[in-house]
Amino acid sequence: NAGVTQTPKFRILKIGQSMTLQCTQDMNHNYMYWYRQDPGMGLKLIYYSVGAGITDKGEVPNGYNVSRSTTEDFPLRLELAAPSQTSVYFCASRGRHEQFFGPGTRLTVL
């Protein structure tokens, strides 16, 4: 049981490039979330999904897109990367009450 996995661990992007952050969970959870954490700050919700085919915006969705075609996968897409998107990104899935987090992707946009 791997829990929540994320790839890649690290990535450097140039301004204007695009990329997809991958997230997979093997716990059969319906609810999944994407957060970003900036230095000295808490986690801020980007997007979330309550099940396959259903997604909704969180607190800071601008510049991102998501899809949820299966229960297991919840990829986050960055279009036209900007320096303000330099952050650590965490994916999570929800169990009975708590959320389980992946190890994170550290993204730098230069």
Residues that bind another protein (CB under 8 A): 4, 31, 33, 35, 40-45, 48, 50, 56, 58, 90, 92, 94, 97-104
Is the CB of 85 or the CB of 104 nearer to another protein? 104
CB of 80 to another protein, least distance (A): 26
Is the CB of 2 or the CB of 14 nearer to another protein? 2
CB of 76 to another protein, least distance (A): 15
What whole-number distance in Å separates Cα of residue 35 and Cα of residue 105?
A: 11
Is the CB of 39 or the CB of 62 nearer to another protein? 39
The first and second tokens of residue 106, run together, are 């550290």
For the chain, what is the radius of gyration of the CA atoms? 13
Q: Which residues of 80-104 are buried (b: 16+ CB within 10 A; e: fewer)?
A: ebeeebbbbbbbbbbeeeebebbeb
What whole-number distance in Å separates Cα of residue 12 and Cα of residue 110?
A: 7
CB of 90 to another protein, least distance (A): 5
